[in-house]
Chain A
Amino acid sequence: MESSELKRSKDSVNSCESARRSSFPDEVLERVLSLLKSHRDRSSVSLVCKDWYNAERWSRTHVFIGNCYSVSPEIVARRFPRIRSVTLKGKPRFSDFNLVPENWGADIHAWLVVFAAKYPFLEELRLKRMAISDESLEFLAVSFPNFKALSLLSCDGFSTNGLAAIATHCKNLTELDIQENGIDDIGGSWLSCFPESFTTLEVLNFANLTSDINFDMLEKLVGRCKSMRVLKLNRSVSLEQLQRLLVNAPQLAELGTGLFSQELTIREYEELESALSNCKNMHTLSGLWDATGMYLPALYLACTHLTFLNLSYAALQSVELAKLLAHCPQLKRLWVLDSVEDKGLEAVGLNCPLLEELRVFPADPFDNEIVHGVTEAGFVAVSFGCPRLHYVLYFCRQMTNAAVATIVQNCPDFTHFRLCIMNPGQPDYLTNEPMDEAFGAVVKTCTKLQRLSVSGLLTDLTFEYIGRYAKNLETLSVAFAGRSDWGMQCVLGGCPKLRKLEIRDCPFGNAALLSGLEKYESMRSLWMSACNVTMNGCRLLAREMPRLNVEARGGMPHHLSLLSEMLGTRQTENY
């Protein structure tokens, strides 16, 4: 497209029409726009003029709905007639931590009914934090003959029977990805429901399930699906069985092992090692449940090209991790448990110069007994060794302002900074001061910051900093922090790109809530629980902002909070 025509198009509808007549037909515009994948770009395109709006809606094949209550399925179907792939997110993120009551909603079924009527050629469905029943899964399986990919992340309401329905009916299935769901695992033979003739599976992830599966069926399935590139097993699969699978699937790019602990003979060990090293395409490795130092060396040869290593289910010690990392020079993403301690993180800094993402989970999060795990020292060590680090999730029991300042100085490119000091409201353990300056340093230095989770003892100053400096911040999580309404007001008054704000156990009240009225229109969601907001405040909000979904709950199942609210912004224009 020439820039002059572009400019003309933006001026007005009329000029747009004349440009259209004189320059290129709809089909060309649609063809060009079909190359646009980002849904944000597409939203922008659709706002240019009516013709572009139409061209965009006819060319769109994938729709992303970040809040299922922001729009109805009928409206979606009317606007986008040619959708083949849908991504839907439902419950507030805090539902992952049991802060949202059961049966809250976000049920997929109404959507499926509309899709069955309007999108009979639907191929992909990716759900996050939605409720989906076995009946819905069965309905899905029989309603869409072209259905190819199902991904369920953090969903609930279904059992392995639902999976059986999918396996039975979806003849063209390429992807079945079941992750971290509240699944009712009643075992059964869902895996055996894949027909003998079925060969198209490329992605199979059932790491979530705890029950045993029929290994023979799995082996046969993997054997005949020659295009399989992602295979993530559950704990019930042993090392010996893993070896048998790998022999038939050396093409795997992503592997999630089963239990990585078994008594093996020397020969079995060598066979395993050989099978693993034959996976020349392997770039992602996970699972490794209960892995101990004994069998980790079997992985060494397979780790040469590894870019993502997920050790968050293996409580390794620092030495074991260090030895393993020496074989992972290409690593970009690493997830570990804090059992590796600071020494383990030093090894990360030494061995992984290309590291971009680090997540350190607590092995023993509810243990108040002894101080162990990782400290600020580990984080600092990584920051010195890994200048490309831009994504961190870090659970620790102590932190200092100075350490964080050093970290962001070493790694100024943070886009996601999620720090969880596990003792709520804990100050800088050396100076006893609040952690305000730590997060101040983060937002001042990391100009690209998109996501921030704060913790520790924080006054309103932290939020002043955030509001003033975090110009690109989209997601903010706050817990046990702040002193007054002013804190939240600063965030709502600043942060021009804020989309998701989740707050728990903070002293923010109605004044703060109501200060963000204009802001909420451009946000996806707001969560507040155990704060000072009252029912009247919510009513006022709802009255002032009729287009918002406002939900206020007068009690929480775990007898904690006064009110919890979720605001979904209902927008027809922006997806």
Chain B
Amino acid sequence: MSTPLEHDYIGLAETSSVERSSEKISSSSSSSSIPSIEDKTSRTTNDTSLNLKETELRLGLPGSQSPDRKLSLFGKDLETNDKSNGFAGSPLKNLVSGAKRGFSDAIDGYNGKWVFSMNGKSDVELAKGAVLASPRGGLDSKSNSQQPRTSVSVMKEVVGVPQSPKPVLDAQNLVPPVNEHASAPAAKAQVVGWPPIRSFRKNSMSSNLAKNSDEGAGCIYVKVSMDGAPYLRKVDLKTYNNYMDFSSALEKMFSCFTIGQCNSNGLPARDGLSESGLMDLLHGSEYVLTYEDKDGDWMLVGDVPWEMFTDSCRRLRIMKGSEATRLAPRAMEKCKNQN
């Protein structure tokens, strides 16, 4: 048995398999979020102790929170929430989506392991591609062989080889502290590919949900989530007549956010709304109200007449200001220009 060959997968024409095109992971849609993850990995595991407190479930009405708790939601840990929500903010169905809580999922090492790779180093390698060993790519060249192939195993590597990484989490860390698990149904980021449900079913069900969430005689109950809050609320859109009422009700529920205004007759004051909402964005410390419409797109609240909004709204999310830049890039630009 000869020694295994290592080839540069991209360089060798003969081994470019018929099936595979570019191996580069960076070609996938999520590559844009990869660099940010590198930062998050190290920081998040360090932030374990900080975040523990925030996601501890406490009883009590919203608004009756202790002062430091309130601060942590809006002020102090913007950074923490920032990066975590940046990660979780993607509305793409097949990715980790809609994390309603901060990234304090690293409550125990076990949780952290799901979402971030086992060790910091590998994140650097994320952009690197595959290592392919053995005949998959070489099938066409072996077609004359009558014998079972005694070919050597060939490992093809793409763009560099990751170093042997040290696991950040060893076996011990993987045992979640049982008490914590039992008492705190705490913030979890969603894990890719979990629960294991096929995309077709996922997509079919989300349209199912749309139906179920607003059925009932004259009620349109939709969920309202707020980035960083440990639980959601449900509101009946039918009980409000316009954006103003709605906004103040939500404000009472969640304290301190802005959606901007709409004209009193319900017509969109497009410029006005977007501007004020986005003006707040620019300061970077406010929240913006967004909603998911029937098509599954995340929209800025306030653009359309109230009735149209209640018709098409499936759920709401109070998004961190910095997050909301993704929603209305053109409006942002216009805003900047006008400034």
B135 near A570 with CB under 8 A, answer yes
CA of A107 to CA of B21 in the docked complex: distance in angstroms? 11
Q: Is residue B266 contacting chain A, with contact meaning CB distance below 8 A?
A: no
- Give, as a whole number of angstroms, the nearest-CB distance from A213 to chain B: 17
Q: Is residue A188 contacting chain B, with contact meaning CB distance below 8 A?
A: no
Chain B residues whose C-beta falls within 8 Å of the C-beta of A553 in the assembled complex:
25, 129-131
Q: Is residue B254 contacting chain A, with contact meaning CB distance below 8 A?
A: no
Q: Is residue B268 contacting chain A, with contact meaning CB distance below 8 A?
A: no
B110 near A425 with CB under 8 A, answer yes
Nearest opposing residue in chain B for A531, CB measure: B118
- Contacts A97-B194, A432-B182, A570-B135; A542 near B17 (Cβ below 8 A): no
Q: Is residue B246 contacting chain A, with contact meaning CB distance below 8 A?
A: no
A554 near B131 with CB under 8 A, answer yes
CA of A102 to CA of B122 in the docked complex: distance in angstroms? 20
Q: Which of A180, A422, A531, A547 contacts B198 (CB 8 A)?
A: A180
- Give, as a whole number of angstroms, the nearest-CB distance from B54 to chain A: 16
Chain A residues whose C-beta falls within 8 Å of the C-beta of B182 in the assembled complex:
427, 429, 432
- Contacts A432-B182, A546-B134, A549-B133; A97 near B198 (Cβ below 8 A): yes
- Contacts A507-B171, A554-B131; A543 near B153 (Cβ below 8 A): yes
- Give, as a whole number of angstroms, the nearest-CB distance from A363 to chain B: 6
Chain A residues whose C-beta falls within 8 Å of the C-beta of B98 in the assembled complex:
366
CA of A266 to CA of B139 in the docked complex: distance in angstroms? 63
Question: Which of A42-50, A375-383, A407-415, A477-485 is the interface stretch?
Answer: A477-485
Q: Is residue B174 contacting chain A, with contact meaning CB distance below 8 A?
A: yes
Interface of A, secondary structure class, is loop
Chain B residues whose C-beta falls within 8 Å of the C-beta of A563 in the assembled complex:
122
- Give, as a whole number of angstroms, the nearest-CB distance from B20 to chain A: 5
Number of interface residues of A (CB under 8 A): 90
Nearest opposing residue in chain B for A484, CB measure: B171
CA of A548 to CA of B122 in the docked complex: distance in angstroms? 25
Chain B residues whose C-beta falls within 8 Å of the C-beta of A182 in the assembled complex:
199
- Contacts A69-B136, A558-B30; A96 near B199 (Cβ below 8 A): yes
Residues 531-558 of A at the B interface (beta carbon under 8 Å)? 531-532, 534-536, 538-539, 542-543, 545-558
Q: Which of B19, B28, B94 contacts A105 (CB 8 A)?
A: B19
B136 near A422 with CB under 8 A, answer no
- Give, as a whole number of angstroms, the nearest-CB distance from B240 to chain A: 22
B153 near A432 with CB under 8 A, answer no
B192 near A480 with CB under 8 A, answer no
Interface of B, secondary structure class, is loop
Q: Which of B97, B126, B193, B211 contacts A555 (CB 8 A)?
A: B126
- Contacts A72-B139, A312-B201; A559 near B126 (Cβ below 8 A): yes
Nearest opposing residue in chain B for A96, CB measure: B198
B28 near A559 with CB under 8 A, answer no
A551 near B132 with CB under 8 A, answer yes
Chain B residues whose C-beta falls within 8 Å of the C-beta of A427 in the assembled complex:
178, 181-182
A552 near B198 with CB under 8 A, answer no
CA of A452 to CA of B254 in the docked complex: distance in angstroms? 45
Q: Which of A483, A484, A535, A548 contacts B164 (CB 8 A)?
A: A535
Number of interface residues of B (CB under 8 A): 98
- Chain B 202-231 near chain A by CB (<8 Å), digits 1 or 0: 101100110110000000000100000001
A539 near B196 with CB under 8 A, answer no
B132 near A208 with CB under 8 A, answer no
B164 near A557 with CB under 8 A, answer no
- Chain B 26-44 near chain A by CB (<8 Å), digits 1 or 0: 0111110110010000000
Q: Is residue A26 contacting chain B, with contact meaning CB distance below 8 A?
A: no
Q: Is residue B331 contacting chain A, with contact meaning CB distance below 8 A?
A: no
Q: Is residue B66 contacting chain A, with contact meaning CB distance below 8 A?
A: no
B122 near A554 with CB under 8 A, answer yes
Q: Which of B33, B188, B195, B208 contacts A559 (CB 8 A)?
A: B33
Q: Which of A97, A208, A290, A570 contacts B193 (CB 8 A)?
A: A97
Residues 76-100 of A at the B interface (beta carbon under 8 Å)? 94, 96-99
A369 near B195 with CB under 8 A, answer no
CA of A17 to CA of B140 in the docked complex: distance in angstroms? 36
Q: Is residue A200 contacting chain B, with contact meaning CB distance below 8 A?
A: no
B161 near A535 with CB under 8 A, answer yes
Q: Which of B140, B191, B198, B211 contacts A424 (CB 8 A)?
A: B191
Q: Is residue A300 contacting chain B, with contact meaning CB distance below 8 A?
A: no
A363 near B131 with CB under 8 A, answer no
Question: Which of B142-150, B285-293, B319-327 is the interface stretch?
Answer: B142-150
- Give, as a whole number of angstroms, the nearest-CB distance from A371 to chain B: 8
Q: Which of B22, B31, B127, B148 contacts A103 (CB 8 A)?
A: B22
Q: Is residue B117 contacting chain A, with contact meaning CB distance below 8 A?
A: yes
Nearest opposing residue in chain A for B130, CB measure: A553
- Contacts A543-B153, A549-B134, A551-B133; A536 near B164 (Cβ below 8 A): yes
A104 near B20 with CB under 8 A, answer yes
- Give, as a whole number of angstroms, the nearest-CB distance from B317 to chain A: 13
- Give, as a whole number of angstroms, the nearest-CB distance from A67 to chain B: 11
- Give, as a whole number of angstroms, the nearest-CB distance from A508 to chain B: 10
Nearest opposing residue in chain A for B33, CB measure: A559
- Contacts A69-B136, A530-B117; A420 near B196 (Cβ below 8 A): yes
Chain B residues whose C-beta falls within 8 Å of the C-beta of A312 in the assembled complex:
201
Chain B residues whose C-beta falls within 8 Å of the C-beta of A504 in the assembled complex:
193
Chain B residues whose C-beta falls within 8 Å of the C-beta of A545 in the assembled complex:
153
A542 near B134 with CB under 8 A, answer yes
Residues 344-376 of A at the B interface (beta carbon under 8 Å)? 361-366, 368-369
Q: Is residue A151 contacting chain B, with contact meaning CB distance below 8 A?
A: no
B117 near A289 with CB under 8 A, answer no
Chain B residues whose C-beta falls within 8 Å of the C-beta of A420 in the assembled complex:
195-196
Q: Is residue B175 contacting chain A, with contact meaning CB distance below 8 A?
A: yes
Q: Which of A98, A313, A432, A555 contacts B199 (CB 8 A)?
A: A98
Q: Is residue B4 contacting chain A, with contact meaning CB distance below 8 A?
A: yes
Nearest opposing residue in chain A for B35, CB measure: A559
- Contacts A180-B198, A530-B117; A559 near B34 (Cβ below 8 A): yes
Q: Is residue B155 contacting chain A, with contact meaning CB distance below 8 A?
A: yes
Q: Which of A105, A181, A480, A483 contacts B171 (CB 8 A)?
A: A483
Other than A362-B195, A530-B114, A560-B191, give 14 A-B pairs with Cβ distance below 8 A: A97-B194, A97-B196, A98-B193, A364-B205, A369-B232, A504-B193, A543-B3, A547-B134, A548-B133, A548-B134, A552-B131, A554-B128, A557-B29, A559-B123
**B residues with CB within 8 A of A:** 1, 3-4, 17-22, 25, 27-31, 33-34, 37, 94-98, 100, 110-111, 113-119, 122-123, 125-136, 139-140, 142-143, 148-155, 158, 161-162, 164-165, 167, 169-171, 174-176, 178, 181-182, 185, 188, 190-202, 204-205, 208-209, 211-212, 223, 231-232
Q: 26 A-B residue contacts at CB 8 Å?
A: A97-B192, A98-B94, A98-B95, A99-B192, A99-B193, A101-B25, A102-B27, A107-B19, A110-B19, A365-B205, A369-B223, A420-B195, A483-B174, A534-B165, A542-B155, A543-B153, A546-B4, A546-B150, A550-B133, A551-B130, A557-B30, A559-B33, A559-B117, A560-B191, A561-B117, A568-B136
Q: Top 3 A-B pairs ranked by shortest CB distance?
A: A97-B193, A555-B126, A105-B19
